[in-house]
Amino acid sequence: MTEHRFDLPPKAPPDVIAQRDALAEEACRALAQAGIPVHRGDLGGESEGRPGAEVHVDPLVIGGVLVEWNTEEELRTAALNVPPDELDPSDLPYAIRHFGTVHSSMRDALLGILASAGFQAEKADGHTYGTAVFVKGFHQP
């Protein structure tokens, strides 16, 4: 029997993770000040999947601070439970279209709020992070 090894992407050093944690906390503070429900999704607890902005630190070398929007469970369930035989890319069901519109609209709102608060933020790579916002840094406005 042969042994298979998979090379996992390298993780960032502890000092980089500490900088990202501090940036994530500042982003949470700025979003909360704007009235956006926000929580750290990477710190465990009962926050995962909770509606609002979810901020987490990706520990990989190429990672960073990400902000994702979570909808209320009812909308999420409606969009994700559409039977596959009803998925026509040229005419998606309302639940999927609405779910996608909410996510892209909230991503754009989060980008604007974070930029106004002094953060360098951009749309994250959609293939890797979907509709997340990538927070690259902070400079005092």
Over residues 56-110, the pLDDT tens digits come to 999 988 888 999 999 999 999 988 888 887 788 888 889 889 999 999 999 999 9
Q: What pLDDT, on a 0 to 100 scale, did the predictor assign at position 2?
A: 53
Mean pLDDT of the chain: 89
Q: Bridge-partner residues for 54, per DSSP?
A: 39, 68
Q: Are 137 and 20 in contact (CB under 8 A)?
A: no
Q: Bridge-partner residues for 122, per DSSP?
A: 134
Q: Where are the domains of the chain?
A: 14-138
Nearest-angstrom CA–CA distance, 64 and 117: 18
Q: What pLDDT, on a 0 to 100 scale, did the predictor assign at position 110?
A: 98
What is this structure's pTM? 0.85
In sequence order, what are the residues at sequence separation of 6 or more whose Cβ sits closer than 8 angstroms to the Cβ of residue 102?
Answer: 69, 71, 75
> What mean pLDDT is predicted for residues 14-39?
96
pLDDT greater at residue 128 or residue 104 = 104
> What mean pLDDT is predicted for residues 124-131?
86
Q: Bridge-partner residues for 52, per DSSP?
A: 70
CA angle 102, 38, 65 (to 5 degrees): 90
pLDDT greater at residue 66 or residue 2 = 66
Q: What pLDDT, on a 0 to 100 scale, did the predictor assign at position 61?
A: 87
Q: What pLDDT, on a 0 to 100 scale, did the predictor assign at position 124?
A: 92
Task: Pull the structure tokens for residue 87.
Answer: 């998925």
Nearest-angstrom CA–CA distance, 141 and 119: 9
Q: What pLDDT, on a 0 to 100 scale, did the predictor assign at position 45?
A: 59
Q: What pLDDT, on a 0 to 100 scale, did the predictor assign at position 4?
A: 63
Nearest-angstrom CA–CA distance, 29 and 39: 10
Task: Pull the structure tokens for residue 10.
Answer: 């390298």
